[in-house]
Chain A
């Protein structure tokens, strides 16, 4: 009789564990299937290209892309500071930066309103300068960036810590300045994490509902993004709501696919002792 260590596969798990896992997976997959079954396929194209739907779709894409750009612009320096420096209160700062991740979006929207609203902390001064933010497209972008920023910071900071500072130290001893080290070593090394972080941020921005509604309102063509449009159409035209929802599902599937695909390349993994075969020059 042969006794050899086989890898632990599903067959070796207690059957009830597999059964519970199947139930859990169905819980996630079934609603998507249910929605796909409910889509009015013959009218799908007209439904998603109606004037209000097209306006919402375009607005969502525009604002989400802008918000993602803002997340990259501010998130990369934030992740660098959190990962590469140490100062008093850094842990507290990290927790605060991640706050939008756990905050109910409506609360976030309210907070933004009391910051940038007409009578808000900064809004009153901006208002005096003739700049109105609340209930404009800018407010949509700010709402989306607010909730999406932690995704980018979190994923990038983790990657920076994993890569470590050894390559940067080598770069510095070779005569590279701080900017050169950042541009030619640090950022290329964490590029996969930056891309997947940006994709996640984009997805979060695209799905943003609560903060947008609170801070930006729901004005067709100006602040009514796709999720808001879905919510409104649900009452008056359920077929349109389902069709638009299905577009969001497709985007979500694409995002998950990309985020999974963008992994650190094999040769970007932390260096390990060379195998005996590979060590032979």
Chain B
């Protein structure tokens, strides 16, 4: 393992453990206040845990227990932090900002400038070398900040929502740049955007209330979520239920036949995209189709679609259907989806 991490922070109710393989990128997702930033500040050394131990490439970052207290200073950790805001030193030029890391590690001025220039070139900001941060746009500043973080040659790169302060027109270009520089680099990216997780990360850690609620390979966690937050992130309907003699039996009581031979009583989850869920006034009894009677709780506009929530499920329908079917909160509807559109997996 490149990184092993276990830490508790009593006063924030934080208790998280995970591992990171060398060269892998981990995305940390979770609602506000879940402890995502706490995790990064603990790793960067800007916060001390009440108990725990972390090792990066065999070197201890912190080791705090009842009878021991090792806290390596941030500068000796080999961990660079890239924050939401670029936080470029305002009194230094872009080049001097990027050269700051190598200079601080004792590289001489000429070599540090050469390193800085090559990193600026790598992030597509070589022409900005002589500019002060006050004269850089948000996207340009974030490019320089990426170069600065990488020029320090970190063993681990921490990214704290690096795209969220950027204009929507700039974010895709920076995301592409990150995808490029994160290849074969140990990194942890805190984000609230599942797209970042899909495009940048090999594995995902979902935190809630200071605890890990889901973790695993990105593709697995975001296609087979086991918590409602994970399902929300992945944009999926999650229905929990049990394996019974008839097949999958949801907690609400509807049944879906199953071909597999999982033992009866196994807890199962069913995931289906809201776009695959149809809504009708009368029950659909076609073979290979699930049909659930439910009362509409809420109707919301989503771009060119209308999302309605009923019986714990979401369904995306065309605005014209909403009018044709007379869907309003409180109306009774039948939700349907084809069996092959749902994936069912053990919890």
By a beta-carbon cutoff of 8 Å, the part of chain A in contact with chain B is 166-167, 169-177, 180, 184-185, 188-189, 191, 265-268, 271, 273-274, 276, 278-281
Closest CB in chain B relative to A162 CB, distance in Å: 13
Contacts A167-B89, A169-B81, A274-B141 aside, 17 further interface pairs with beta carbons under 8 A come to A166-B83, A172-B75, A173-B152, A175-B104, A184-B100, A185-B89, A189-B91, A266-B134, A267-B133, A267-B135, A268-B90, A274-B138, A276-B167, A279-B138, A279-B166, A279-B167, A280-B170
A/B pair count, beta carbons within 8 Å: 102
User: Can you list 23 A-B contacts with CB-CB less than 8 angstroms, sorted by A residue number?
Assistant: A166-B87, A169-B74, A170-B87, A172-B45, A173-B75, A173-B152, A174-B152, A175-B104, A175-B105, A175-B152, A184-B89, A184-B100, A189-B90, A189-B91, A267-B132, A268-B91, A271-B85, A274-B167, A279-B137, A279-B169, A280-B167, A280-B170, A281-B137
Contact between A267 and B90, CB atoms less than 8 A apart: yes
Pairs of residues from A and B, 5 with the lowest C-beta to C-beta distance, nearest first: A267-B134, A281-B139, A274-B138, A279-B167, A279-B138
B104/A173 in contact, CB under 8 A? no
Please report the C-alpha to C-alpha distance between residue A177 and residue B44 in the assembled complex, in whole angstroms. Answer: 15
Q: How large is the interface on B (under 10, 10 to 19, 20 to 34, 35 or more residues)?
A: 35 or more
Main secondary structure of the interface of A (DSSP, over half): helix
How many angstroms from the CA of A171 to the CA of B137 in the assembled complex?
22
Q: CA separation between A267 and B131, bound complex, in Å?
A: 12
A188 CA to B134 CA, complexed, in Å: 15
A271 contact set on B, CB distance < 8 A = 85-87
> Which residue of chain B lies nearest to A271 when distances are taken between CB atoms in the complex?
B85
In the complex, what distance in Å separates the CA atom of A278 from the CA atom of B100? 25
Which residue in chain A gives the minimum CB-CB distance to B135? A267
| Interface contact A176-B167, CB-CB below 8 Å | no
Q: Which of B100, B139, B140 contacts A176 (CB 8 A)?
A: B100
Binding site for A on B (CB under 8 A): 44-46, 73-77, 79-81, 83, 85-87, 89-91, 100-101, 104-105, 132-135, 137-141, 143, 148-149, 152, 165-167, 169-170, 173-174
- B162 → chain A closest CB, angstroms: 13
Question: B residues within 8 A CB of A189?
Answer: 89-91
Greatest chain A CB density within 10 A among B45, B91, B137 is at: B91
- Chain A residues positioned under 8 Å from B169 (CB to CB): 279-280
A173 and B170 within 8 A (CB): no
Contact A265 B90 (CB under 8 A): yes
Q: Would you call A176 and B137 a contact (CB within 8 A)?
A: no
Given contacts A185-B89, A268-B90, contact A175 B101 (CB under 8 A): yes
Choose from A174, A191, A267, A276 the contact partner of B80 (Cβ within 8 Å): A174
Name, among A172, A174, A268, the residue most crowded by chain B CB atoms within 10 Å (CB to CB). Answer: A174
Select one of A171, A265, A266 contacting B100, CB under 8 A: A171
- Whether A265 contacts B134 by the Cβ 8 Å rule is yes
Q: Residue on B with the closest CB to A176?
A: B104
Please report the C-alpha to C-alpha distance between residue A172 and residue B149 in the assembled complex, in whole angstroms.
Answer: 12
| Choice from A180, A191, A274 contacting B104 with Cβ under 8 Å | A180
CB-based contact B74/A278 at 8 Å: no
CA distance A185 to B89 in the complex (A): 7
| Cross-chain contact B138 with A174 (CB below 8 angstroms) | no
Residue of B nearest to A267 (CB): B134
A191 to B90 CA separation, bound complex (whole angstroms): 12
CA distance A267 to B137 in the complex (A): 12
Contact across chains for B134 and A174 when beta carbons are under 8 A apart: no
**Which B residue's beta carbon lies closest to that of A184?**
B100
Residues of chain A with a CB closer than 8 A to B173's CB: 281
Interfacial chain B residues near A268, Cβ < 8 Å: 90-91
